[in-house]
Amino acid sequence: MAGTLVSAVIYGNDIRYFSNLLQPFKRYYITGGIVKKQDAKYKVSDYQFSWMLHNKTLVEECVEPNPPLLPCTFEFTKFEDLFRFANTENVQTVVVTAFATKEQNNGCTTRGFIVVNEEKKPMLLTLWNEFEQNQGTQLANSIGNANVIIGMKLKITTFNYLSLTTKPGSGLLINPPTSEANALKDWYNANKEEIAELIQQMAYKDSSKLLPPPSSNDIISVANALNTLKDVKTAWITGKINLSPRQQKFWFEDGL
């Protein structure tokens, strides 16, 4: 069911007031908010106004045994194409494994998860700080539920050959009511034994699965890369490596 897309803003102490009242994927009856003309550069749709909610605004949940599917659509990037971006992309995955929370040297907290989709390429997803504390806790506490997540504006890194991580501006939707999410959960439940074997084999650290040899169309010369990389963040290049004759130790640190 289509509707009107509108932005609503909550300020100051009212944020805490609404923090547990408004939940994703639910519908509400709202009255008593402030409606104001929206600046054109902040508009999210053709609707000309935005709302401001405050502690005098009345909010009542619309109780629905079977909430409708989200009226919006998402465009997702395949795992096999992530190397093309190495910056930010949107993905849809099932969370299958949770690691322990880690305290980083810079005072940040992280938690790693193994995620997978129909491509059967388990991959590491690292949640940082508030993502680790909020969505990470929820996912870890319900790890057996085959939670489907949509990760928006995630950063793609070459840690563990290829992995995903949150960054400021990222977004995570847990079990969104979409037909695609329902189909992915059904797929996982039908293939969970095979996925469990891949996790047991640590396929999320296997370069042959995460970064298989590129096709000839994806390989460019070093000379062409100098121009291409001005606009494209990553590229496969072909060439020869020469090491300097100096005595130097090389090392590699495994992150998990």
Q: pTM score > 0.85 for this model?
A: no
What is d(CA 74, CA 152) in angstroms, rounded to the nearest whole number? 10
- Tens digit of each residue's pLDDT (9 = 90 or more) over 60-72: 999 888 878 877 7
Is 3.40.50.10170 the CATH number for 79-207? no
- Tens digit of each residue's pLDDT (9 = 90 or more) over 128-146: 999 999 999 999 999 999 9
Residue 20 in 3-state DSSP?
A: coil
- Tens digit of each residue's pLDDT (9 = 90 or more) over 183-208: 999 999 999 999 999 999 999 998 88
Tell me the percentage of the chain whose pLDDT exceeds 70: 89
Q: How far apart are the first and last CA of the chain?
A: 44
Q: For the chain, how big is the Rg over CA atoms in Å? A: 22
> Within the chain, which residue ranges are assigned CATH 2.40.50.140?
8-61, 79-207
Instruction: Kindly provide the b/e burial profile for residues 92-111, where b requires at least 16 CB atoms within 10 angstroms of the residue's own CB.
Output: bbbbbbbeeeeeeeeeebbb
Of 53, 54, 50, nearest in space to 36 by CA: 50
Of 179, 96, 93, nearest in space to 144 by CA: 96
What is d(CA 254, CA 81) in angstroms, rounded to the nearest whole number? 24
What is d(CA 105, CA 253) in angstroms, rounded to the nearest whole number? 16
- What are the φ/ψ torsions at residue 197 (nearest 5 degrees)? -65, -40
CATH class of this structure's domain 8-61? mainly beta
Residue 239 in 3-state DSSP?
A: coil
Q: Are 18 and 33 in contact (CB under 8 A)?
A: no
